Amino acid sequence: MLRELKRSPWARVLYVAPSPALGLHVIQWLVIRLASEQDLNSWVHRVGLLHSPYEAPVWPSVSSGKIVCSAQGVQAGLGQFTLAIVDEAHAVFRSDAAYGCLQEINYEKLLLCSDDSQSSAVEQAYPSWPDIQKVNLREVVRSTKRIVAGSAAFRLDTNMATGMATALSTDGPPLKSFIFSLKEPSRRFEEYAKQILMALWHVVHTFPGTSLHKRVAVLAPDDHFCLKLQPLLQQRLKDEMPHRNLSLMDFKESLSSLPEQLQAAGPEPKEHLILDSMGNAEGLEQLVVICVGLDAPIRSSSVDLETRAQLYKALTRAQMLSIIVNEHVEGGWLEFLGTSGALLPFLFGGFLIEAENLQKGYPYH
């Protein structure tokens, strides 16, 4: 993207992604690398963002430390793009998805970024590009070895010997789980808030002295879950961690603000924690991810694909530590993998031998 923008002052790039948050993340990435430029918006204005339902692009600009998107930007309209990037293409080109204006895009170059293991659809309906070159990436630089190996239990493909990626990061701390019995269904979200606080204390003890600001994401199955959980969790943060100025926000709100190092010094900021749905977490990452309420009973149906994809995506959003917080689900994925021993090495240690066997395609012991 940056190379294409630098080649010509008239070059335009279209970035396509399922959610607005991922587009904002890319603009942040661009701004950080162009921070020394005097006229920053002359670069940013040439990047169009297109997200679901893919009806029309929006055009970003930077003002007062914020990224603001408008449908009436200086480059408004589709027109011709030097480069079109479709990120999380497995989610964009689902067979049941509406493509909006995607088929009307004119571009000189096209780049698709996809991971079928994150898809909840059996297959994708990619348009036919006869000359497209396929490149398989097998090295993971984002997540620890424990996260990569632990998430493999939820991969869509069954060929572990060829499908397993190689993690180049450190071993990292063991994955952690907080599985609880829900005795009072009417207090479901109160119990989740309580368990999430326990998970946060685990994070504090695992990384002592580390600020949690924009480093922890609590990922829930959908927006309704977030809406019910948010006020209860915010109150618990205030009551049980009063010495820390913790506040919840979603990915879009968080990524609309430029990183602190690019803004003028101000009052001591709050420590912002992310609370958002899995649909808004596509392609994003955090130092620590707390996966909340994602398990479901195994039904041998399309719902199973959705559950597996959600758990896999949630675990692999983490760079250093993944934590599972879930009510006990009878016949669920976590119960099955826990009792079969598939998750135990990753949740409670004993990692190295099991991970090496997994990458070689050997069964668990």
Tell me: the pLDDT tens digits for 210-235? 999 999 999 999 999 999 999 999 99
Taking a C-beta distance cutoff of 8 angstroms, is the pair 334, 179 a contact?
yes
Quickly state the pLDDT bin for 97 (edges 50, 70, 90): low
Check whether 169 has a pLDDT greater than 90: no
Q: Which residue has the higher pLDDT, 175 or 130?
A: 175
Does 260 have pLDDT greater than 90? no
**Residue 178 in contact with residue 324, Cβ under 8 Å?**
yes
Whether the pLDDT of residue 26 is over 60: the answer is yes
pLDDT at 259: 83
Q: What is the mean predicted confidence (pLDDT) over 327-339?
A: 77
Q: Which two tokens stand for residue 159?
A: 């060929």
Band of the pLDDT at 348, cuts 50, 70, 90?
Answer: very low
The predicted structure's pLDDT at residue 302: 66
Q: Which of 13-27, 61-75, 187-201, 312-326 shows the lowest per-residue confidence on average (mean pLDDT)?
A: 61-75
Q: What is the pLDDT of residue 191?
A: 97
Q: Is the pLDDT of residue 92 over 80?
A: yes
* H or E element, residue 337: helix 333-340
- Mean pLDDT on 249-259: 94
Contact between 161 and 262 (Cβ < 8 Å): no
Q: What is the mean pLDDT of residues 60-78?
A: 78
Residue 28 is predicted with a pLDDT of: 94
Q: Is-contact 310 285, C-beta < 8 A?
A: no
Bigger pLDDT: 209 or 361?
209
- Burial of 86 by CB count in 10 Å (0-12 exposed, 13-18 middle, 19+ buried)? buried
* Helix-then-strand count for the chain, H and E: 13, 14
What does the pLDDT average to over 43-48?
A: 94
Instruction: Report yes or no: 310 and 280 within 8 Å, Cβ to Cβ.
Output: no
Tokens 């006990």 belong to 328
The pLDDT assigned to 342 comes to 47
CATH 3.40.50.300 placement within the chain: 145-359
- With a pLDDT cut of 70, the percent of the chain lying above it is 74
CATH of domain 145-359: 3.40.50.300
How confident is the model at residue 328, as a pLDDT? 92
Q: What is the mean pLDDT of the chain?
A: 81
Work out the angle between the directed axes of helices 333-340 and 302-315 (0-180°, nearest 10): 70
270 pLDDT above the threshold of 90: no
Average pLDDT over residues 65-79: 74
Q: Give the whole-angstrom CA distance, residue 278 versus residue 183.
A: 26
